[in-house]
Amino acid sequence: MINRENLCGKALEMRDRAYTPYSHFNVGAALLCKDGSIYTGCNIENAAYTPSNCAERTAFFKAVSEGKLEFTAIAIAGGQEGAESLEYCAPCGVCRQVMREFCGDSFEIILAKSREEYQIFTLAELLPMGFGPENLDKKM
């Protein structure tokens, strides 16, 4: 069972660690592994832009670097720095593709405005016809 409120709370907390001196758009993420462990991430910007990293990928890369390869859900919270309320912050295309590498179509993506206010999507809904490892396994 997924404790969505807890996962959303961790994503919201991670927004405070975001390094966003250019966009001032802070994003936090909390990734739930199948074993119940949670890995968090925040977005980290760079003056050269290309080396910047999204919160979602930060969480995934931390988890994978620790040997985790099975995931259940991710909560994402984002919005302008100092804003009174948050908006629903969907993952970018690159993050969706990283999710597709490790997760199936039913992987849950939770977009949070608060611990109690969130929307839930599956990876299949946000990345229809995604390209994954099984596409490379097909014999020509």
Q: Would you name the residues annotated as active-site residues?
A: 56
From residue 98, give the alpha-carbon distance in Å to each of 24, 41, 102, 122, 133. 24, 14, 7, 14, 11
Name the DSSP class of 127: S
CB atoms within 10 A of CB 133: 9
Contacts of residue 21, Cβ cutoff 8 Å, sequence gap at least 6: 45
**b/e burial code for range 39-67 (CB count within 10 A of at least 16 → b):** bbbbbbbeeeeeebbbbbbbbbeebbeee
